[in-house]
Amino acid sequence: MFTVAIINPKAISQFLSLPVSYVHNGVNYRITFVKKLETVLKFNSEGYIKAYDLAIVPTQENHWGGMIYDKEQSVVYLNRVNKVQQQLLLTQFFAKTYQERLARRYRALKCFPVILGESNEYAFEGKGIIKPSGGARSLGVMTFDTAETNLRSFFIELRKLRDSTTKTNENLKVICDEFKIEIKEAEENSENEVVKSLFDETILVQEFNEYRNVKELRILKTADCRFHIFQRDHFDTDCKNIIDKEIEIEMNDKGSTGLESNLFSEISNVIKHPEFPLTHGSIDVWYSDEDNRWGIYEYQPQYGHRHIPERLHSNFLRDTIETFANAISEVKENNFD
């Protein structure tokens, strides 16, 4: 039996989809969920005492390129960073791989972080999006046009709300209406979660995607660089939770249905690159066939999966765990009793 400890499963909740025990490629796996690594890992004069064969741990360190693991402790780390850090890591990745000419059609959307209460310079004109750097499920996402609003004044009012005792969605909506800023509806898990998500971390401001007929993909990447690709059609739906409308794209030799083949090839080569800053998880990719351009909105080792077929998703997670296990030790058929 090969035992896998998922540490802090709230931060990588997709692993909760796995059964507590299963057989995959001839190996028996047992899955346990614990809050802290220290619960299942001890150290004494003789070395480490582990209550697992493999531990998967979400980390918030700024790391990019390849798998992060500690072979001695049998730990694999998943790099879970916010949207501001993601943009920094992507910039570093494309700078380092520039000579390889991986991404001739890639375009990064201009963005910058905002820390409420500090002297920020908002050198930004036109349409844009405001979103919490650590948010999910479209919580706190806002759209604006500098022709109709003053960003500096808006953020001053946001700071006042943050420092007040009346941090409610309703009061946030009043400020947004005053500055002609539209705040997207989102599915909340608790009262006033929208306004709380906005003030939890740094705020990210990003230019609006002005390319023609933009479509979006959600790409699930296994640790061994295989993918599942889903078309996200939230641009054409009134669904409040824009994550939920996903349809898997059928693959063929030239690429994927509805995606121009040279774009798909370039996207694939970037995501498969050993220095790409995500080992396992989801990548939200936008593309425009008309303009022959693509980019990355965000990525994360935690992702929504309610509308992904259960068997497909379960096998995806099992493949990833098998790859992690092989990185730590040689997992062979019937080696574990």
Structural domain boundaries enclosing 287: 83-107+211-300
Q: Work out how many domains the chain is built from and give that number.
A: 3
Do 149 and 229 lie in one domain? The reply is no
| Residue 259 is assigned to a structural domain of this protein | yes
Q: In what order do the strands lie in the sheet with 111-114?
A: 111-114, 203-207, 127-132, 142-145, 182-183
Contact 113, 202 (CB under 8 A): yes
Closest CA to 103 of 274, 267, 290: 267
Do 97 and 227 lie in one domain? The reply is yes
Q: Which of 173, 207, 241 represents a domain boundary (last residue)?
A: 207
Which of helix, strand or coil describes residue 39? helix
Do 44 and 173 lie in one domain? The reply is no
Question: pLDDT digits over 146-188, tens only?
Answer: 999 988 899 999 999 999 988 898 999 999 999 999 987 777 7
Do 218 and 294 lie in one domain? The reply is yes
| Residue 333 is assigned to a structural domain of this protein | no
Do 292 and 230 lie in one domain? The reply is yes
Do 221 and 87 lie in one domain? The reply is yes
Do 164 and 220 lie in one domain? The reply is no
Question: pLDDT digits over 186-201, tens only?
Answer: 777 778 888 888 887 7
- Specify burial of residue 55 (Cβ count, 10 A radius: 0-12, 13-18, 19+): buried
Q: Which of 176, 192, 207 represents a domain boundary (last residue)?
A: 207
- Specify burial of residue 326 (Cβ count, 10 A radius: 0-12, 13-18, 19+): middle
Q: How far is CA 150 from CA 62, 78, 175, in A?
A: 33, 39, 12
| Residue 306 is assigned to a structural domain of this protein | no
Do 31 and 74 lie in one domain? The reply is yes
Do 135 and 200 lie in one domain? The reply is yes
| Residue 305 is assigned to a structural domain of this protein | no
| Residue 13 is assigned to a structural domain of this protein | yes
Question: pLDDT digits over 25-46, tens only?
Answer: 999 999 999 999 998 988 877 7
| Residue 334 is assigned to a structural domain of this protein | no
Do 220 and 294 lie in one domain? The reply is yes
| Residue 279 is assigned to a structural domain of this protein | yes
Question: pLDDT digits over 12-21, tens only?
Answer: 999 999 999 9
Mean pLDDT of the chain: 82
| Residue 249 is assigned to a structural domain of this protein | yes
| CATH number, domain containing residue 251 | 3.30.470
Do 115 and 200 lie in one domain? The reply is yes
Question: pLDDT digits over 240-266, tens only?
Answer: 333 334 444 544 444 444 556 678 888
Do 147 and 116 lie in one domain? The reply is yes
Q: Which of 192, 207, 222 represents a domain boundary (last residue)?
A: 207
- pLDDT the model gives residue 57: 92
In percent, the amount of the chain with pLDDT more than 90 equals 31
